[in-house]
């Protein structure tokens, strides 16, 4: 057994580029929920993107330059909490590979050890307990591939979701299948990506859920975009924003 | 393959509702079957780690093991031939057949023979090669290629097969009864086994220590091909060699469980020699053709070498969300699915096949089930890097073929923006105000083919965090 890390007094929050541009409410909710546990959150203004888009597209030098800047912006030896399994996976599992043979490899390795996905940090490190004040609601859950396979944090995300007593969770039939986002994949292979996301949307529809909750905003942008184009009524929300809403009676 | 032809294949496959239904149904079943025989996750993990270790150990000594295999086979009376290219391998097979004045070959399932395009080659020399694996038999009648490396006719349903049999087999009635269809195939093939002078097969594992060829199958056609005709020719890729007989049990458990969700196949053939004096059956001659076809080149790179760990179970195809939707033919090459995406560009070169490495969301479903733990996503990334690489050295043919100014500039600008925080915050703010007015062109147009336009937040998280008084240091 890995010992549970003790509760830190301060953490960095890495907001991710997608949350910055498309889902700032999710980012703010994630920050507020950490602060609520008595942990001071630092959001360095110099952060931008984890570098994954270039890393997955055949441009490792550009990815490295961007990654280096993040390590610099988040340099103090405190946990880095990331509200995305994909970006956290990049920083935790791929930075050491990306910096192989680079002078900053030791820093990259030390940095990667400080990275936590948000729901894991909340459930495992802080051991949060939530009281649901919302109306009864049926939701479904989408596991992002990197949260599932790289970070392996889905049990933590679901543990948080299950604390919400008035929320009925209806699982997807193919929860472990990719939604087809894959970053630049969605625009490099639009037809395959489109077929994948439309199947995901069908699966969500079958649950009869009003909302799909996820821990990754890339997936959400993809899924709600496809659902929206088909005029379907379900909404998508990041887990942090959803929890913030529920415990405040929304 | 060039990007355009792959795109066309994909569009055609996605438009075929029957094809998508056939694949989704069949792959779903394979996933469940595999899960049932690997239900103990800890034990499965231990077994996969062992499988990985066995193949890595074998690859680390590959040249030595191949020499050892040749010596052991020769000692056992198996004649070993080396082929650097498919053309050479075809020539060896042809010469062997001709030296026996053979005109008919019965074939067990072999992906290496597909790689050689052997049937077509033999056909041009007046030699009939008959596929005897039921799936291969079906697609040979239909004039098609395998759409899956284990179940080659999985893209056909029983109505389609009924029609093929009725049209192509003289005297076959139209029937959708599966038992009757199987009986028709059996009757047709039984005759071919008696008539053939040559039996040809693939190899699942070749044991260097003992000179043993291991071949697994479920229909018995493999055993007939390797025992009934007087001459047996086995073809294998050079990565199929393993050190010792003791390596086989875990590898077979992994291969069979991953491929078909079985604990053991109906037939496990261990072939160690031709018919010995006093024995009543078996071929009097056994030949082993060992094909390179780019493998020794792949072997030179320690990272890419992991591609050669593959045991051809096909489970990465079954679990792949891309393969499940487009099927095997859309890939345009012999090996489809995740393994095809990493193997084909390395063998055929990035110019011809590099696009395949980009046809993945890097979801990692393949890696999670690979019985020998090939890091498929990492290798896909590596091939993407190779495609754009400006450095001259490297072993992958076509290195740097995707280099272009437009993309390089785009990524350079992206990196500049993301390493200059103030400028980046300005641009994000600007997009928040004006992003919704972006013209639907380029990447945005491709996104919007299946989705609504993404809505930029008026104020991004950077600005909101500042306004809400979140500490920035």
pLDDT tens per residue, range B186-203: 999 999 999 999 999 999
Residues in chain A within 8 Å Cβ distance of B432: 21
ipTM for the complex? 0.96
- Of A62, A91, A125, the one marking the end of a domain is A125
Radius of gyration, CA atoms only, chain B: 26
Cα–Cα–Cα angle for A122, A125, A129, rounded to 5 degrees: 50
> In 3D, which of A78, A15, A8, A116 has the Cα closest to residue B428?
A15
List domains and CATH numbers for chain B: 1-37+310-403 (no CATH), 38-293 (3.40.50.10420), 413-467 (no CATH)
Summarised one tens digit per residue, pLDDT across range B72-92 is 999 999 999 999 999 999 999
Summarised one tens digit per residue, pLDDT across range B422-441 is 999 999 999 999 888 888 88
Please answer whether residues B85 and B293 qualify as being in contact, where contact means their C-beta atoms are separated by less than 8 angstroms.
yes
Residue A98 Cα distances to A66, A67, A95, angstroms: 11, 9, 5
- Of A68, A93, A125, the one marking the end of a domain is A125
Summarised one tens digit per residue, pLDDT across range B219-236 is 999 999 999 999 999 999
**pLDDT of residue B471 exceeding 90:** yes
The SS3 assignment for B314 reads coil
A186 in contact with B, Cβ within 8 Å:
yes
Residues in chain A within 8 Å Cβ distance of B465: 15, 27-28, 31, 43
Confirm whether A113 is domain-assigned. Answer: yes
Do B417 and A193 make contact, defined as CB atoms within 8 angstroms? no
Q: Compute how many other C-beta atoms are within 10 angstroms of the C-beta atom of residue A140.
A: 23
A73 in contact with B, Cβ within 8 Å:
yes
| Helices within B79-220 (DSSP H only) | 86-99, 111-115, 118-124, 134-142, 158-168, 178-195
Residues in chain B within 8 Å Cβ distance of A183: 361
A15 plus A120 within the same structural domain: yes
Closest chain A residue to the Cα of B326, Cα to Cα: A192
CA B86 to chain centre: 17
For residue A209, give every residue at least 6 positions away whose Cβ sits within 8 Å of its Cβ, in sequence order, or none: A138, A139, A140, A170, A234
Confirm whether A39 is domain-assigned. Answer: yes
How many CB pairs (< 8 A) connect A and B?
A: 194
Residue B357 to chain A, least CA–CA distance (Å): 10
A19 plus A120 within the same structural domain: yes
Q: How confident is the model at residue B1 (pLDDT cuts 50, 70, 90)?
A: low
Per-residue HEC secondary structure of chain A comes to: CCCCCCCCCEEEECCCHHHHHCCHHHHHHHHHHHHCCCCEEECCCCCCCCCHHHHCCCCHHHHHHHHHHHHHHCCCCCCEEECCHHHHHHHHHHHHHHCCCCCCHHHHHHHHCCEEEHHHHHHHHCCCCCCCCCCCEEEEEECCHHHHHCCCCHHHHHHHHHCCCCEEECCCCCCCCCCCCCCCHHHHCHHHHHHHHHHHHHHHHHHCCCEEEECCHHHHHHHHHHHHHCCCCCEEEEHHHHHHHHHCCC
Q: How confident is the model at residue A2 (pLDDT cuts 50, 70, 90)?
A: low
Give the DSSP H or E segment for B408.
helix B405-418
Confirm whether A1 is domain-assigned. Answer: no
Q: Token pair of B397, please?
A: 């043919």
Tokens 């086995």 -> residue: B234
For residue B251, give every residue at least 6 positions away whose Cβ sits within 8 Å of its Cβ, in sequence order, or none: B51, B54, B55, B205, B242, B311
Please answer whether residues A8 and A79 qualify as being in contact, where contact means their C-beta atoms are separated by less than 8 angstroms.
yes
A14 plus A119 within the same structural domain: yes
Q: Which of B384, B451, B470 is the closest to A43 by Cβ?
A: B470
A141 plus A220 within the same structural domain: yes
Q: Which domain holds residue A236?
A: 137-247
- Interatomic CA distance for residues B250 and B43, integer angstroms: 12
A153 plus A72 within the same structural domain: no
Tokens 């498919």 -> residue: B86
Mutate to test the interface with B, among A12, A24, A144 (most CBs of B within 10 A): A24
Please provide residue B63's backbone torsions phi and psi, each rounded to the nearest 5 degrees.
-60, -45
Q: How many domains is chain A partitioned into structurally? A: 2
What is chain B's mean pLDDT, rounded?
A: 96
Residue B123 to chain A, least CA–CA distance (Å): 37
Q: How confident is the model at residue B238 (pLDDT cuts 50, 70, 90)?
A: very high
Q: How confident is the model at residue B312 (pLDDT cuts 50, 70, 90)?
A: very high
Summarised one tens digit per residue, pLDDT across range A175-225 is 999 999 999 999 999 999 999 999 999 999 999 999 999 999 999 999 999
Do B472 and A185 make contact, defined as CB atoms within 8 angstroms? no
Confirm whether A5 is domain-assigned. Answer: no
Identify any residues that bridge with A174 across adjacent strands, giving them in sequence order: none
Q: For chain B, how far is it from start to end, CA to CA, in angstroms?
A: 51
Question: What does the DSSP 8-state code read for residue B18?
Answer: H
- Interatomic CA distance for residues A151 and A92, integer angstroms: 8
Summarised one tens digit per residue, pLDDT across range A50-72 is 999 999 999 999 999 999 999 99
- Of A125, A153, A183, the one marking the end of a domain is A125
Confirm whether A130 is domain-assigned. Answer: no
Residue A137, burial from CB neighbour count under 10 angstroms (0-12, 13-18, 19+): middle
Tokens 């013209």 -> residue: B439
> In 3D, which of A175, A179, A99 has the Cα closest to residue A140?
A175
Q: Which of A22, A60, A182 is the closest to B457 by Cβ?
A: A22
**pLDDT of residue A250 exceeding 90:** no
Tokens 């050669």 -> residue: B308
Summarised one tens digit per residue, pLDDT across range B375-434 is 999 999 999 999 999 887 889 999 999 999 999 999 999 999 999 999 999 999 999 998
Residue A163 to chain B, least CA–CA distance (Å): 27
Summarised one tens digit per residue, pLDDT across range B252-286 is 999 999 999 999 999 999 999 999 999 999 999 99
Confirm whether A72 is domain-assigned. Answer: yes
Summarised one tens digit per residue, pLDDT across range B313-345 is 999 999 999 999 999 999 999 999 999 999 999
Mutate to test the interface with A, among B389, B470, B472 (most CBs of A within 10 A): B470
**Tally of residues, chain A:** 250
Confirm whether A158 is domain-assigned. Answer: yes
A172 plus A214 within the same structural domain: yes
Cα–Cα–Cα angle for B116, B122, B126, rounded to 5 degrees: 170
Do A197 and B451 make contact, defined as CB atoms within 8 angstroms? yes
Tokens 């060699």 -> residue: B241
- Interatomic CA distance for residues B42 and B40, integer angstroms: 6
Confirm whether A4 is domain-assigned. Answer: no
Do B471 and A189 make contact, defined as CB atoms within 8 angstroms? no
Note the pLDDT of residue B422: 96
A18 plus A110 within the same structural domain: yes
Query: What number is the average pLDDT over the span B172-184?
Result: 96
What's the half-sphere exposure (Cβ side, CA atoms, 13 Å) at B76? 24
- CATH no. for residue A175? 3.40.50.11810
Cα–Cα–Cα angle for A141, A37, A11, rounded to 5 degrees: 90
A17 plus A71 within the same structural domain: yes
**pLDDT of residue A4 exceeding 70:** no
A141 plus A120 within the same structural domain: no
- Interatomic CA distance for residues A223 and A244, integer angstroms: 22
- Sheet of B205-207: strands edge to edge? B241-242, B205-207, B212-217, B267-271
């Amino acid at each position: 057994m890995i010992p549970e890390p003790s509760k830190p007094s301060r953490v960095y929050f890495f907001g991710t580029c997608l949350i910055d541009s498309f889902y700032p409410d999710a980012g703010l909710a994630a920050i507020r929920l950490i602060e609520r546990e008595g942990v001071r959150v630092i959001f360095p203004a110099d952060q931008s993107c984890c570098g994954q888009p270039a890393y997955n597209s055949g441009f490792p030098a550009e990815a490295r330059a961007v990654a280096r800047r993040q390590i610099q912006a988040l340099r103090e030896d405190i946990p880095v909490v990331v509200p995305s399994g994909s970006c956290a996976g990049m920083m935790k599992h791929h930075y050491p590979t990306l910096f192989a043979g680079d002078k900053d490899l030791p820093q990259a390795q030390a940095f990667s050890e400080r990275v936590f996905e948000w729901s894991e940090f909340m459930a495992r490190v802080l051991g949060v307990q939530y009281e649901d004040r919302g109306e009864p609601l049926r939701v479904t859950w989408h596991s992002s591939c990197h949260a599932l396979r790289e970070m392996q944090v889905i049990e933590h995300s679901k543990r948080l979701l299950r604390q919400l007593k008035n929320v009925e969770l209806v699982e997807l039939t193919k929860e472990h299948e990719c939604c087809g986002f894959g970053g630049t994949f969605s625009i490099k292979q639009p037809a395959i990506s489109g077929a994948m996301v439309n199947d995901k949307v069908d699966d969500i529809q079958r649950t009869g859920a009003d909302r799909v909750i996820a821990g990754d905003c890339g997936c959400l942008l993809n899924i709600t975009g496809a659902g929206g184009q088909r005029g379907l009524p379900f909404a998508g929300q990041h887990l942090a924003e959803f929890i913030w809403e529920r415990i405040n009676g929304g | 393959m060039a990007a355009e032809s792959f795109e066309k294949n994909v569009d055609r496959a996605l438009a075929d509702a029957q094809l998508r239904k056939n694949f989704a149904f069949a792959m779903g079943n394979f996933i469940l079957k595999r899960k049932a025989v690997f239900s103990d996750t800890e034990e499965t993990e231990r077994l996969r780690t062992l499988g990985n270790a066995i193949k890595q150990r074998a690859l680390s000594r590959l040249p030595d093991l191949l020499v050892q295999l040749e010596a052991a086979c020769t000692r056992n009376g198996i004649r070993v031939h080396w082929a650097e290219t498919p053309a050479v391998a075809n020539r060896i097979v042809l010469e062997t057949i001709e030296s026996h004045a053979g005109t008919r070959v019965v074939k067990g399932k072999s992906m290496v023979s597909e790689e050689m395009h052997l049937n077509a080659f033999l056909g041009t020399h007046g030699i009939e090669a008959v596929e005897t694996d039921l799936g291969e038999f079906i697609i040979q009648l239909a004039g098609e290629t395998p759409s899956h490396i284990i179940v080659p006719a999985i893209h056909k349903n029983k109505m389609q097969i009924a029609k093929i049999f009725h049209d192509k087999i003289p005297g076959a009635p139209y029937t959708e009864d599966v038992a009757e269809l199987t009986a028709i195939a059996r009757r047709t093939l039984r005759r071919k086994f008696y008539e053939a002078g040559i039996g040809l097969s693939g190899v699942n594992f070749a044991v260097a220590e003992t000179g043993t060829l291991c071949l697994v199958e479920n229909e018995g056609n493999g055993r007939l091909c390797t025992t009934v005709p007087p001459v047996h020719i086995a073809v294998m890729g050079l990565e199929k060699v393993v050190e010792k007989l003791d390596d086989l049990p875990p590898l077979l458990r992994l291969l069979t469980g991953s491929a078909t969700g079985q604990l053991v196949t109906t037939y496990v053939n261990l072939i160690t020699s031709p018919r010995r004096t006093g024995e009543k059956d078996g071929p009097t001659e056994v030949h082993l053709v060992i094909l390179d076809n780019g493998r020794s080149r792949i072997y030179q790179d320690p990272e890419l070498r992991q591609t050669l760990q593959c045991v051809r179970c096909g489970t990465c195809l079954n679990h792949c969300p891309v393969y499940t939707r487009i099927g095997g033919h859309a890939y345009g090459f012999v090996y489809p699915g995740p393994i095809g995406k990493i193997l084909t560009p390395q063998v055929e070169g990035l110019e011809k096949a590099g696009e395949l490495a980009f046809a993945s969301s890097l979801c990692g479903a393949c890696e999670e089930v690979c019985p020998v733990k090939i890091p498929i996503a990492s290798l896909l990334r590596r091939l993407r890097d190779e495609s754009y690489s400006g450095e001259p050295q490297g072993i992958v043919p076509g290195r740097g073929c995707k280099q272009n100014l437009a993309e390089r500039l785009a990524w350079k600008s992206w990196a500049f923006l993301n390493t200059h925080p103030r400028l980046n915050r300005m641009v994000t703010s600007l997009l928040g105000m004006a992003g919704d007015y972006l013209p639907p062109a380029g990447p945005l147009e491709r996104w919007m083919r299946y989705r609504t336009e993404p809505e930029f937040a008026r104020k991004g998280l950077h600005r909101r965090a500042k306004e809400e008084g979140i500490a920035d240091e």
